[in-house]
Amino acid sequence: MNIAAMEHADNDRGVLRCWHEWEIDGRQRRIILCVETSLELRPGHSGFDLNQVEDLVDHATALMRASPSPIDGIRIVPVA
């Protein structure tokens, strides 16, 4: 079960939107920071830039650490 909780945009780092989702499995709950990006995430494909992807991951990690509530993981989501 996923529940969206927040939106944010930071186009300078390839972030289009971000939100929190809850993954619920029985009595266990994990909060996941989802980061939507327009960056190419597949190595070897046209437009893939490892430095941009690493910057995106660094930025997502900083967002996770700055969150007032604990976050258990990060999910990078390509724009549909």
Listed by start position, the domains of the chain span 11-78
pLDDT at 1: 44
Contact 35, 73 (CB under 8 A): no
| CATH class of domain segment(s) 11-78 | alpha beta
Q: What pLDDT digit, counting tens, does each position of 18-56 carry?
A: 999 999 999 999 999 999 999 999 999 999 999 999 999
pLDDT bucket at 12, cuts 50 / 70 / 90: low
Specify which residues 61 forms β-bridges with.
none
Q: Which amino acid is at 25?
A: D
